[in-house]
Chain A
Amino acid sequence: MSILADPKDVLHEPPSARFIFISLIIAFLLYLLPTSGALLFLRVELPLLVVLYWSIHQPNRVGFAIAFVMGLLVDVSDGNILGQHAIAYTLAVFLVLVLRLRILKFKLWQQALHILALLLVSQLLVALTHLFLPSTFPGWGYFVASFFGALLWPVITFSLEYPQVLAARARND
């Protein structure tokens, strides 16, 4: 399932725990970049995308617990009620674990369509939990972020796979 056509580049070894950890931290850091106004609608849930990538490719190492913790981190940094993103991320990880073997058979842009559905479901859940709180629905533009996130899926896959490919090449040489 490597993105690179070279048959030498098949990934035999799983990535190190450190690499997974750093990728999650970077995703969270990019998510924290200050945005306001219309840019908020393009704010991709990068932590969720990276968690989804790892739960597709390393389901034994990244799953519910990490998704839950990332959700809590996002909630604190956004000033949400604790648990709003945690529950949304948990549901997304559940769906991706159910669809995992199916998703892996597809090409990247077809995978992106699956990811789009998952992102929409998680955004919908966050919006639903907001209904019980004194908050304002920001308009349907809110869901644009999911489409943008799905567009980023090939980029995410490439940037998480390429370092592994490089590491594998270094080991083979």
Chain B
Amino acid sequence: MVTQQPEFFYRGPSPFVRLLFFSVLALAIMVADARFHTLDMVRSAVATITYPLQQAALAPGDIVGRIGNFFVTQNKLQRENTELKQTLLKKSEDIQRLSLIEGELTSLRKLLGARDAMTERSTLAEILHSGRNPFRRKVIVDKGVNENVLLGEAVISADGVLGQVTAVFPLTSEVTLLTDKNQAVPVMIRRNSLRAVVFGNGRDGTLDLPFIPLNTDVQNGDILVTSGIDGTYPAGLSVAKVTNIERNAIHAFAKITCTPLAGIDRDRHVLVLTNLTAGAKPQIEPEPTKSATGKAGKSTPSRAKP
């Protein structure tokens, strides 16, 4: 191309043209990623390339933690050991009863002709860091595709459900916590088997239980456990505790606030549960037990907004 302008002065397209080009490119990428999820490969590749940097950034905290561990007193260790032994004893009693009940349940299910209950495989993972994004509630754990962690798997800690795997990379994966906005978990109230869906609202430490009619039997202190309807979370895992109920006659529904039972600040180790029967149609749930009033067994349609 012959131009009047000497090569030396030519500086390429003007900043405004470049701004337009890169803005449009960024918008296209945003739409492709948010709507169509076509860029997971790119995300995964970038995450793998920057993995050494990520690890390097975690090193200082790790070293401080290790030095702290080194100076733990023997007294504290002994106390902890005793506590753990007691917990183990209690849990082993539970497990013995559980195996009895499981056997009973399997034979009952066979009688009913229902499918087997979900069987799970679990992977122990460690939380690398809580997500640094103030807009979202996510954590990064140290197990990825290489350890067979799959998209959509449930993540639990000792106290209850923590969240769900929402992005997997070769060596790490991203867990969206229950408290992330619009994160939904199908639950039931342990006391009366009332079904509902609990939603995160984006704030730490609270969950919403919407679309519950005013006269429904929900009490402060009720424990919500997963109902297993969605096929993602196995049934019966503790999720949250009802902490506040506002019943106002001008609204159709009660305003119920819950506190999640598991917290990322309490435990660094989590279990990623792989649902081996995933992809199959939702399993048949046992009939909810009807209470004397006959109202408590009413089930709320999951996810569908009235």
Contact = CB atoms under 8 A, between A and B. Distances in A.
A83 B54 CA distance: 20
B134 A77 contact: no
A113 interface: no
A135 B202 contact: yes
B183 to A, nearest CB: 8
Contact of A64 (B18, B29, B137): B18
Interface string B35-55: 000010011001100100110
A149 B137 CA distance: 24
Interface in A113-147: 127, 129-130, 132-138, 142
A64 B53 CA distance: 23
A90 B23 contact: yes
Contacts of A65: 22
B300 interface: no
B30 A43 contact: no
Given A60-B11, A94-B15, A136-B201, A40 B39 contact: no
A142 B53 CA distance: 25
A138 B182 CA distance: 15
Contact of A29 (B16, B32, B57, B135): B57
B57 A33 contact: yes
Interface in B136-186: 136-138, 140, 167, 174, 180-182
A2 interface: no
A90 B133 contact: no
Interface residues of B, number: 49
Residue among B53, B56, B60, B135 with most chain A CB within 10 A: B135
B133 A29 contact: no
Interface residues of A, number: 48
B132 A82 contact: no
A91 B18 CA distance: 10
B25 interface: yes
Contact of A32 (B34, B57, B134, B136): B57
A72 interface: yes
B22 A79 contact: no
A104 interface: no
A73 B136 CA distance: 17
Given A77-B50, A82-B30, A87-B27, A135 B136 contact: yes
Contacts of B25: 68, 83, 86
B130 interface: yes
A132 B31 CA distance: 11
Interface in A78-93: 78-84, 86-87, 90-91
B134 A138 contact: yes
A32 B29 contact: no
Contacts of B32: 82
B26 interface: yes
B131 interface: yes
Contact of A90 (B19, B34, B54, B129): B19
Interface string B253-291: 000000000000000000000000000000000000000
Contacts of A136: 135-137, 181, 201-203
B138 A81 contact: no
B18 A63 contact: yes
By CB atoms of chain B within 10 A, which of A43, A64, A132 has the most?
A: A64
B178 to A, nearest CB: 14
A36 B30 contact: no
A34 B201 contact: no
29 contacts: A25-B53, A29-B56, A34-B132, A64-B22, A77-B47, A77-B132, A79-B131, A79-B167, A81-B30, A81-B34, A83-B28, A84-B30, A86-B29, A87-B23, A90-B23, A91-B19, A91-B23, A94-B16, A94-B19, A98-B15, A127-B135, A132-B34, A133-B135, A134-B180, A135-B135, A136-B137, A138-B134, A138-B135, A142-B134
Given A64-B21, A82-B43, A90-B26, 12 more contacts: A25-B53, A29-B53, A29-B56, A33-B57, A35-B132, A78-B132, A80-B136, A81-B33, A94-B19, A134-B182, A136-B135, A136-B137
